[in-house]
């Protein structure tokens, strides 16, 4: 345990370097086309074959909004315009913080990328609720339904029932 710290950490015995392991940042977007939302069917684990928002790990030197736009292009072939930060979700069991933006399609074209089996626009009643890959996808969809196109709102967070 480094002096003044309260956690055990890896420390180099030769130079004293302390290895800090920190959570991974995931950036993604709830992409809208009118009243429809864009979902991707995962082609990779975890949760292959389930529907998700385009999202992934933030790269070094990239802002979260840039990462969300990059992921939408990589996973859905979608060029997007970021509107607002929709939600900040913590998933401590896997050491993730997820930043989900509200966005719109810049162009009507989209197609599955290498990490997606399918990409579709869904009306609210057609969202495949029982086939969503992650709870945070459900949380973001419900936040969008509550917030709609409001301009001033606090970003959503984990539900009290699932901290």
3-class DSSP state for residue 137?
helix
| Per-residue pLDDT reduced to its tens digit, 78-126 | 999 999 999 999 999 999 999 999 999 999 999 999 999 999 999 999 9
Mean pLDDT value across residues 57-82: 98
Q: Evaluate if residue 45 carries a pLDDT over 80.
A: yes
Whether 3 shows a pLDDT value over 90: the answer reads no
What pLDDT is attached to residue 162?
A: 77
Nearest to 40 by CA among 111, 104, 99, 96: 111
Which stretches of 10-104 are DSSP H helices? 64-76
Which pLDDT score, from 0 to 100, does residue 163 have?
Answer: 62
- Angstrom distance (rounded) from CA 62 to CA 89: 19
Map tokens 């069917």 to a residue: 41
Peptide bond preceding 46: is omega within 30 degrees of 0, i.e. cis? Answer: yes
pLDDT at 153: 98
The percent of residues above 70 in pLDDT, for the chain, comes to 99
In DSSP terms, which residues pair with 46 in a beta bridge? none
Nearest CA-CA partner of 135 in 47, 58, 60, 20: 47
pLDDT, averaged across the chain: 96
Residue 30 DSSP label: E
pLDDT of residue 137: 98
Domains of the chain as residue ranges with CATH: 24-147 (3.90.79.10)
pLDDT score, position 161: 85
Which DSSP helix (H) or strand (E) runs through 143? helix 135-147
| pLDDT over threshold 80, residue 55 | yes
Tell me what pLDDT residue 113 has. 97
């Amino acid at each position: 345990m480094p002096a003044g710290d309260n956690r055990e950490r890896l420390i180099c015995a030769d130079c004293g370097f302390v290895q800090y392991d920190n959570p991974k940042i995931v950036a993604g977007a709830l992409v809208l086309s009118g009243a429809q939302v864009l979902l991707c069917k995962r082609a990779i684990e975890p949760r292959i074959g389930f529907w998700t928002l385009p999202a992934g790990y933030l790269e070094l030197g990239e802002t979260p909004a840039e990462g969300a736009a990059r992921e939408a292009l990589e996973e859905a072939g979608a060029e997007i315009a970021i509107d607002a930060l929709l939600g900040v979700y913590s998933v401590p069991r896997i050491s993730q913080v997820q930043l989900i933006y509200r966005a719109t399609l810049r162009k009507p074209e989209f197609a599955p990328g290498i990490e997606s089996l399918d990409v579709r626009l869904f009306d609210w009643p057609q969202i495949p609720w029982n086939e969503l890959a992650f709870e945070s996808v459900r949380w973001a969809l419900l936040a969008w339904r509550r917030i709609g196109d409001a301009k001033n709102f606090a970003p959503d967070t984990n539900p009290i029932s699932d901290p």
